[in-house]
Amino acid sequence: MKAIFISCNQALYDEVQQTMEQLGVRGYTAWEELMGSGTTTGEPHLGSTTWPTMNSSILSIVEDDKYQPFMAALKTIDDANPHLGLRAFWWEVGGTL
């Protein structure tokens, strides 16, 4: 199984959620309002007067067979919205209790 951590502009949150539903990625934990800044490109998302946008994040544990289609779909969303920002990171995880 893979843990996938997604951080994106809040404007992309609903699209990410719809993609998860379409691919059958059900279990997740979400944080809807986060501040942050990319490492090399993009503007900070700080919820301030100067930088008013915010980020959202999702952590989902997915089966190995859903990992690649999910990551490909997230890349498609990011490619279609280069100025908004979406990043996804994954790592291997063990089973559940």
pLDDT given for residue 44 in this prediction: 72
pLDDT given for residue 14 in this prediction: 96
pLDDT tens, the chain, 97 aa long: 999 999 999 999 999 999 999 999 999 999 988 877 777 777 777 777 887 788 999 999 999 999 999 999 999 999 999 888 899 999 999 877 7
pLDDT given for residue 87 in this prediction: 94
Residues 6 or more apart in contact with residue 84 via CB below 8 angstroms: 8, 9, 11, 12
pLDDT given for residue 45 in this prediction: 74
| Domains by residue range for the chain, with CATH | 2-37+52-92 (3.30.70.120)
